[in-house]
Structure 1
Amino acid sequence: MEMYRKEGIVGFYKGNGVNVFRASPCAALEFLFYEIYKSVLVDNSLANDVRGKFVCGALAGVTANTITYPLDLIKTILSVQLNPRHYKKGIVGHVRIIYSKEGLPGFYKGWLTTMVGIAPYIAIKMATFDVLKTRYLPSKDVPHFDLINLSFGAVAGMVSMTATYPLDLIKRKMQLVGVSKHVRRYDGLIHCINSTMLHEGWRGFFRGLNPCILKMVPATAILFSVNERLKKMIGI
């Protein structure tokens, strides 16, 4: 309600433009690199093994998100801007600000923390869906093909988001250091973890989980379902 009073309905969509601009290529790259790593790095004995799927998912997540990381950083910054003048600077304005203050390294601030969270998240998401599909969807010609993939995608989204949410929360906290005077400053990853535990307890690592699940579970379900439908259409 506080956000609505201060910014109206528009406040709920802050940073959404850059998020859409980032999310589409990032998701496409994750699927692409997942298949590439499966074909290149996993031998036949591990092709259907959970460990192989997990490793390929982690590598795909790191690769895709490293490529699109600067957009993720700007999205996070835009989503917490309280000053309308700063928010109106948009993507290009913030690119200039980051580059002028920190140079190219500034676009990868918090990268390591992000990858620590992204690798297991994408690994669990991809491996969960792949295992479910392999075991319970032996053919693409079964009835309710899309509905089954939606269900598998929802399960993959729920499991991966819940398991790795604390890492995502820490990532966002690290990205926002120095962005606003209202954001607590941290000296590093360990300090951020210890500070969160000290001031908020273990529940602090799951603050905001429910809204994320409400967003990510249907989004992940649709993402996997559309991907499988497109693969079926082009004969992959």
Structure 2
Amino acid sequence: MQTEARVGLVVEGGQIALNSAHGGNGVDGGARKFSQKQPKHELQQQSQIGTIQQLLAGGIAGAFSKTCTAPLARLTILFQVQGMHSDVATLRKPSIWREASRIVSEEGFRAFWKGNLVMIAHRLPYSSVNFYAYERYKKLLQRIPGLESDKGNVSAKLCVHFLGGGLAGITAASATYPLDLVRTRLAAQTNVIYYRGIWHALRIISREEGILGLYKGLGATLLGVGPSLAISFSVYDTLRSSWQSQRPHDSPVLVSLACGSVSGIASSTVTFPLDLVRRRMQLEGAGGRARIYTTGLFGTFGHIFRNEGVLGLYRGILPEYYKVVPGVGICFMVYETLKMLFSDISASD
């Protein structure tokens, strides 16, 4: 959830900044005058086109960003599940270079993208639902007394962003979670291949573990939405406001990328243990293996802490850090590029 939260922050913050830099007030004013002259059905059609464009831009940007950082994402997953079926005392100190070399020599270079297809199949609907639901929830929350859209009420605005982002994240995660679980199981496979693809994995998991087996670890995911968004929003908004007040002429794109990356690192640091617990719960019973964690979310957390210590809760944090900056940057730039492209296409029609 960390990545999704920070991407939403950067894209939204960057878009606001870009609008301001390009004379957003004038554009908005012209749009209002133009909309008053248009028939109602034409406005509805434009609104629908805008929604579709936003869904496409968000989905493609999220999938492309994840594809580019897939090698680091797989390393993160492999480190996170170390110690799950092994004697912790015999584990070597995690080494990104050593694990990367092992993947190349034993599985081939393409193995860095193992599970990438299901990741795209998950990320496209996830990003699309997340962006779309966020806008819908935000408009719904602004109808609540005390949370109306008021430029002078900063606390109400932050509350709308936080609640809207949290509800959107919960909605998107719940709707697409089985694909996230399948992606984890495919990426965690090394030399022994038990799941041969997306549909094969979905079928085997449903048959051996039941429908609820497709939702293992969902509780950890939903529990991490609130803290992840709270940290991301607070760090991002504080840094961006401070930066713009001291250096108002800096590129809004650079400001958004830098602040989004820092907020992502802060969010990952705090919520990474929940992400690790989620991954391990997703692998419970995978490949016909016996279950290890049988006491639920908090029992799993306690089991890992007792057997592996605090450092065990942060296995894989380094590759997670390394993918934050490129992940945010790629997603932001692709999203903005696609929006400009769709805008040009719409204007030429």
Q: Measure the CA separation in 2 of the matches of 1:131 and 1:28.
A: 27
1:209 to 317, 320, 323: 317
2:194 to 79, 86, 97: 86
Q: Check the 8 A contact 2:118/2:198 in 1, yes or no.
A: yes
Q: Measure the CA separation in 2 of the matches of 1:212 and 1:28.
A: 23
1:60 partnered with 2:168: yes
Larger Rg, first or second structure (1 or 2): 2
Q: Measure the CA separation in 1 of the matches of 2:290 and 2:331.
A: 33
Q: Measure the CA separation in 2 of the matches of 1:131 and 1:26.
A: 27
Change (3 A) 1:229 1:2: closer
2:259 to 152, 166, 170: 152
Aligned partner of 2:139 in structure 1 is 39
Q: Check the 8 A contact 2:138/2:161 in 1, yes or no.
A: yes
Mapping 1:127-142, distance limit 5 Å: 128-129=235-236, 132=239
Change (3 A) 1:226 1:136: farther
Q: Check the 8 A contact 1:26/1:65 in 2, yes or no.
A: yes
2:278 to 134, 158, 171: 171
Q: Greater RCO between the two (CA within 8 Å, min separation 6)? A: 2
Aligned partner of 1:17 in structure 2 is 117
Alpha-carbon RMSD: 3.0
Count how many residue pairs are aligned between Structure 1 and Structure 2.
231
Q: Check the 8 A contact 1:157/1:221 in 2, yes or no.
A: no
Deviation at 1:183, TM superposition (A): 8.2
Mapping 1:186-225, distance limit 5 Å: 186-187=293-294, 188-225=296-333
Change (3 A) 1:91 1:59: same
2:185 to 77, 82, 85: 77
Deviation sequence 1:17-59 (CA, Å, 0-9, x none): 111221233223222222222221141344423x443222221
Percent identity for Structure 1 against Structure 2: 38
Q: Check the 8 A contact 1:117/1:171 in 2, yes or no.
A: no
| 1:206 partner SS | coil
Q: Which moved further from structure 2: 120-129 or 100-109?
A: 120-129
